[in-house]
């Protein structure tokens, strides 16, 4: 390919040079004064207008093992929030969870859950919930309709939540029940609810401040 391409490029450059030399000097001068074309701006990602206060926030979950309830938590996460109550069409949220930060209240669960049969954090270190479809249900009750991507699988998810905004401070609280098998979390002997419930309730509390 190089043997063919290099002579071809050289020939094209020679033709271009000859053509340019034959143009009237006045025409070349006019072209030199023409303004350069305006570059197309790259798409700019939205920057969140709310900052999460981690000390007053959490992403927890509740499930059961052999009939006994337990609560776990993801300790490392990032949430980008764009939200104004009077501009829901412009609202958006992206929550990114470091799945390896899971803690489930028991050393056996803590060591098993990051493994291949459960979250497989080596291959899929992040879980992401993303929504740009917000609906006001009534009063301070809303829904965020989006997609949860976890363990390489994306599924639609609607998160109901309450939101109270007082000046530059906001408090959000939401709960949603998930079927973990939709994301293949728990495979093999763990793929049924014989040992661990397939239903998992996620409890989210977000405290945030706005500089706007």
User: Quick one: 97 and 202 in the same domain?
Assistant: yes
Of 16-25, 28-37, 85-94, give the range with the top mean pLDDT. 85-94
* 143 phi, psi to nearest 5 deg: -130, 135
**Residue 146 and residue 193: Cα distance in Å, rounded?**
26
Domain hosting residue 77, numbered range: 51-209
pLDDT at 22: 42
Hunting for tokens 């981690």 — which residue is that? 54
User: Quick one: 114 and 81 in the same domain?
Assistant: yes
Q: Number of folded domains in the chain?
A: 2
pLDDT at 21: 41
User: Quick one: 17 and 85 in the same domain?
Assistant: no
User: Quick one: 144 and 55 in the same domain?
Assistant: yes
Residue 204, strand partner residues? 59, 174
Q: Does the pLDDT value for residue 143 go beyond 90?
A: yes
User: Quick one: 25 and 128 in the same domain?
Assistant: no
- Is there a contact between 92 and 131 (Cβ–Cβ < 8 Å)? yes
Q: Which tens digits make up the pLDDT trace of 149-185?
A: 999 999 999 999 999 999 999 999 999 999 999 999 9
Does 194 fall in a domain?
A: yes
What's the average model confidence in pLDDT over 58-83? 97
pLDDT at 206: 97
User: Quick one: 195 and 127 in the same domain?
Assistant: yes
Does 73 fall in a domain?
A: yes
pLDDT at 212: 67
Residue 48: CB atoms within 10 Å: 17
Taking the complete model, does pTM exceed 0.85, yes or no?
A: no
Confidence of residue 110 (pLDDT cuts 50, 70, 90): very high
CATH number of the domain enclosing 81: 2.40.128.110
User: Quick one: 73 and 164 in the same domain?
Assistant: yes
pLDDT at 211: 72
- Is there a contact between 35 and 196 (Cβ–Cβ < 8 Å)? no
**Residue 159 and residue 142: Cα distance in Å, rounded?**
8
User: Quick one: 96 and 7 in the same domain?
Assistant: no
Does 137 fall in a domain?
A: yes
Does 40 fall in a domain?
A: no
pLDDT at 201: 98
**How confident is the prediction for the chain on average, in pLDDT?**
84
- Is there a contact between 159 and 180 (Cβ–Cβ < 8 Å)? no
Q: Which tens digits make up the pLDDT trace of 32-51?
A: 444 444 333 333 344 578 99
Does 142 fall in a domain?
A: yes
User: Quick one: 97 and 197 in the same domain?
Assistant: yes
**Residue 23 and residue 91: Cα distance in Å, rounded?**
55
Does 193 fall in a domain?
A: yes
User: Quick one: 162 and 97 in the same domain?
Assistant: yes
Confidence of residue 23 (pLDDT cuts 50, 70, 90): very low
User: Quick one: 108 and 146 in the same domain?
Assistant: yes
Does 10 fall in a domain?
A: yes
Does 45 fall in a domain?
A: no
User: Quick one: 25 and 61 in the same domain?
Assistant: no
- Is there a contact between 52 and 21 (Cβ–Cβ < 8 Å)? no
């Amino acid at each position: 390919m190089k043997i063919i391409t290099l002579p071809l490029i050289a020939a094209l450059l020679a033709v271009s040079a000859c053509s340019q030399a034959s143009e009237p000097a006045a025409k070349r001068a006019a072209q030199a004064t023409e303004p350069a074309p305006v570059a197309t701006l790259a798409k700019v990602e939205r920057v969140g207008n709310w900052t999460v206060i981690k000390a007053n926030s959490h992403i927890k979950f509740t499930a059961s093992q052999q009939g006994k309830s337990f609560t776990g938590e993801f300790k490392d996460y990032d949430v980008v929030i764009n939200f104004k109550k009077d501009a829901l069409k412009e609202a958006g949220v992206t929550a990114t969870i470091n799945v390896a930060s899971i803690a489930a209240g028991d050393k056996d669960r803590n060591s098993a859950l990051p493994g291949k049969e459960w979250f497989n954090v080596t291959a899929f270190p992040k879980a992401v919930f993303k929504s740009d479809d917000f609906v006001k249900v009534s009063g301070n009750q809303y829904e965020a309709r989006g997609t949860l991507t976890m363990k390489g699988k994306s599924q639609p998810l609607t998160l109901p939540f309450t939101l109270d905004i007082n000046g530059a401070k906001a408090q959000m609280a939401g709960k949603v029940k998930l079927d973990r098998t939709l994301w293949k979390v728990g495979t093999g002997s763990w793929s049924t609810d014989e040992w661990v419930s397939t239903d998992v309730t996620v409890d989210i509390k977000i405290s945030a401040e706005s500089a706007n």
